[in-house]
Structure formats: C-alpha cells, structure tokens
Copies of this chain bind each other. A is one copy, B any other.
Amino acid sequence: MMNEPTIRDIKEAHRLIRPFAHRTPVLTCSALNEMCGAEMFFKCENFQKGGAFKIRGATNAVFSLDDQEAARGVATHSSGNHAAALALAARWRGTRAYVVMPDSAPEPKKNAVAYYGAQIHYCGPTAEAREEVCAEVLCRTGATFIHSYNDRRIVSGAGTAGMELCEEIPDLDIVMAPIGGGGLISGTAIAVSAVSPKTQVIGAEPEMADNASCCLQADRVLPASNRDTIADGLRMPLSELTFSIIKKHVREVVTVSEEGITQAMRHIWERMKIIVEASSAVTVGALLTRRIDLSGKRVGIILTGGNVDLGNLPWR
C-alpha cells in the first residue's frame, strides 16, 4: 500500500498549485448559524477554478510529473469534477488529458470536460468496459494515470483547502468535509491535525452512499453498495489509502438523508446567495437535521463545488 502523505507533502503541493488555484474566500452567514446552532466558516471551493476543489489535487499531480512524463499526457476515468480539473491542469502544463467516461454521462459533464480541452474516450457503462478503454489509451499514449482519489498527490493537493482554512480562521473546534472516495477528507484530516492539532475533523456522507460508515464499522475497505444519492460527487467507495487515513485522523462520520441534503443545498442558495452542488451540502445537512450537535462550536466547513445543472434542480 502507498504511504500516507504528510503535512510536508501538503505544503509542497500548496507551493506548486499557488500560481494556478485560487485562494478561495471564507464566508459566514448569520442566518445559517442561527438555523444550525453553530458558528460556521465556509471555505468556498465552489468559487475555485473549474468550480470545485478538485483542481488542487489535479494541479499538484500534473505539476509533480517530470517533463518527460508530462509530455506524454495524463489520463483518468471519471465523469465528474476530477475529469474537468485534470483537463484544466493539463492545459496549464501544456500537455494532453485523456478522459474515459461512459457514453451515458450527462451532456453538461461531457461539455465541461471538453470545454477544458480534454480528449474524451467513451466506453460502455460497465467497469470492465471502462478498464478496457482506459488500458488501451494508456498503452497507446504512455500517459500517466491519475486516479481521482486513490493517489497521494491528489490527497495532498486536496489537503491544501483545509490548510488554508485553518490558517485563516484560528481556533476552530471542528472542520467538516463531505466523504465520497475520501480524498478530500483524508487531505483535510492530515492538514488540520498538523496545522491546528486541537481541531477535530468530522466527515459527512449520504445515507444512500454510506460506504465510509460501513467501512469503519467493518474495519476494512468494502465495495460501494447503494449509491442512489443526489450527491453525485459522493458515490465512490473508499480506497485502501483513504480508509487508513480516515480511520486514523477522522473523529466521526455522520450520514444524512436525501431530504436533508436537498434542504441544506436550498438553504445555502437562499441564505448565502451562492451556488453549491448537492455534494457540498451534506455537511450542512448533518447540522440542520441534527445528525450531529455542534451547538456553540466554531465549525469550518469545506463547500466542495458549485457545478450544477441549472436546468435540473432537485426542488419543485
């Protein structure tokens, strides 16, 4: 198994990505504080380049390559924010990104990846079809494969958001982040425990995609089961790497109902006047629906992204 990244890796990632990624603002909202009973500090990665925190890991990965590797390009399979981020980072590095995605992926996702200049390779809807197309692309191009979270460089890059948050807002009691594959929460937990050792890290995931909770209970990595959640960025299962980091550094993982996620998303839109995707709202959902009581605590919350299909919203 690969080594866990350290705070040194995260600081090095921060140095590498600084010319490219935004240092996103931290916003507050008194109305939401009142509703949730906590003092919340929102790290707004929805304002990040590419509309999500994913650019941090992707840029770190792409700029960690040596020139020869970089010249052959990078590849991934993903239909979400990671693919778009990798495409953008590759463009910054002056190289190619190859993205394998199912031909059934929604049009807006295809468009986003194409917009940043990636070469898209479509595959059938099964894992086998995906692997096959991916192997073929890697073999033909010599590109470096960059997994969306089972990768030290991705986890290190993701950790820079939590590091910035703790540097900017001292004395946080808690930092919360959503859990999908676990890349963000892993990087966050390593960064927070180093920069602000008294601050605890709590993860939130959909009830309908509660792989992290299941893994922690079973004390081993399990395949994803139910994934029918509106939070489409949180459908992947943990990897060995992210599981071991979460087990060590994350205090607690809470689950949130679909209704709780949708409600939280709408409250964030209405009260903060910012656009976040459903996956971003799961943390606030945990507080709103009282899945966890953080009354009177200072809580940092990473809002992970804002890429939403405005023609297909989860209400009405």
Copies of the polypeptide in the assembly: 2
Known contacts being A273-B275, A274-B274, A274-B275, is A310 close to B310, with CB within 8 Å? Answer: no
CA distance A276 to B275 in the complex (A): 10
The interface on chain A, measured as residues whose beta carbon lies within 8 A of the other chain's beta carbons, has a size of: 19
Chain B residues positioned under 8 Å from A273 (CB to CB): 46-47, 51, 274-276, 306
Chain B residues positioned under 8 Å from A313 (CB to CB): 310, 313
Within 8 A of B (CB), among A19-67: 25, 46-47, 51
Within 8 A of B (CB), among A237-289: 266, 269-270, 272-276
Chain B residues positioned under 8 Å from A266 (CB to CB): 310
Per-residue contact bits, chain A 285-316, to B (CB 8 Å; 1 contact, 0 not)? 00000000000000000000010001111011
Residue of B nearest to A115 (CB): B31
Residue of B nearest to A30 (CB): B49
Chain B residues positioned under 8 Å from A25 (CB to CB): 25
The residue from B269, B310, B315 contacting A270, defined by CB atoms under 8 A apart = B310
Chain B residues positioned under 8 Å from A312 (CB to CB): 316
The residue from B47, B275, B316 contacting A269, defined by CB atoms under 8 A apart = B275
CA distance A312 to B313 in the complex (A): 11
Show 22 A/B contacts (Cβ-Cβ < 8 Å), sorted by A: A25-B25, A46-B273, A47-B272, A47-B273, A51-B273, A266-B310, A269-B275, A269-B310, A270-B310, A273-B274, A273-B275, A273-B276, A273-B306, A274-B274, A274-B275, A275-B275, A310-B313, A310-B315, A311-B315, A311-B316, A312-B316, A313-B313
Known: A270-B310, A273-B275, A311-B315. 5 other contacts (CB 8 A): A25-B25, A47-B273, A273-B276, A275-B275, A311-B316
